[in-house]
Amino acid sequence: MPELPEVETILRGLRQGNQSTPSLLNQTIVGASLFWQKTLAEPEPAIFLSKIANNKINNISRRGKFCVFHLNHDFLLIHLRMSGDLYLRPDMGPSYDLKPKQAHERLYLHLDSGWGLVFYDTRKFGRVWLTSKPESILGQLGLEPLDPHLDSDLFYSLLQSKSRQLKPLLMDQRFLAGLGNIYTDEALFDARINPLRLSNTLSPDEAADLLNAIRKMLLSGIRDHGASIDWVYRGGNFQNHFQVYQKTGSPCPRCGNPINRTVVGQRSTHYCPLCQPMHK
């Protein structure tokens, strides 16, 4: 699920609630059940279980791909990684069950309302932190791509400061916080820039085009409630607007040439070799 638009969609849903589910805001956590130890990055399980109780969820925000829950004293940070999901379901058991009610539940936070927050994560890559110093975990992140302080001049100078392949650089969360494999491929296609170009070879105009394309794709993704592919379905619609992602061999929507797939930084990378040339 989880690039910036998918995380944003999940958090908006938790804040707003819906017809069958209440908002998570202002609910109080009364206890926790941890079903997969490695899901908890810090602190130790016993300390986590004692510190998490009697905490009100005062605010919910996002930083990059991190979910940030503002509690009374501490911050609960959750990263969904490849297959994580968060949703409310009714509390059906004692506070310290050893086994989850559903397969793949890794953490359950019991709430005073009779509901609970489920951290569901098939592949077990997701991580949870409870900390009083969120900057110790979020401090390394780069700018938010939608931050208005990021203008084309700043983006150009950031690109100039590195000599790295664009695809892995844009996915590096220390460079920009929030892009993943889908939105990076779509943005590079939209800006007509080859994913293997080195960052310091872009012109100022190309840098401006790329920044605009990144924002256009992220905003489209948010508008569409994210992308829903494979068996991990959340009701998003952005997958119906993919131009190149997972379109290997299909005709390019601009020129009709088949879309290429290659591997860069161990990740599938989709692009049009004619619209996104290495050299002009």
Partner DNA sequence: CCTGAAACCTGTCTGC
Partner DNA sequence: TGCAGACAGGTTTCAG
Active site residue ranges? 2-3, 65, 267
Say how many C-beta atoms besides its own lie within 10 A of residue 22's C-beta: 16
131 binds DNA (CB under 7 A): no
| Nearer Cβ to DNA (176/211) | 176
Q: Looking at the DSSP assignment, which residues form a beta bridge with residue 22?
A: none
Instruction: Kindly state the smallest distance separating residue 27's Cβ from DNA, in Å.
Output: 26
31 binds DNA (CB under 7 A): no
Residue 30's SS3 state is: strand
101 binds DNA (CB under 7 A): no
Q: Which stretch binds DNA (CB under 7 A): 89-97, 119-127, 150-158, 208-216?
A: 119-127
Q: Which stretch binds DNA (CB under 7 A): 52-60, 90-98, 169-177, 206-214?
A: 169-177
d(CA 202, CA 160): 8
Residue 202's SS3 state is: coil
Q: CA angle, 253 as apex, 200 and 275 as ends, to 5°?
A: 30
3 binds DNA (CB under 7 A): yes
Instruction: Select from 18, 19, 240, 266 the one that contacts DNA (CB under 7 A).
Output: 266
Name the burial class of residue 29, with classes exposed (0-12), middle (13-18) and buried (19+) by CB atoms within 10 angstroms of its CB.
buried
Site string for DNA, 38-67 (x = CB under 7 A): x-------------------------xx--
| Residue pointed to by tokens 């150009």 | 156
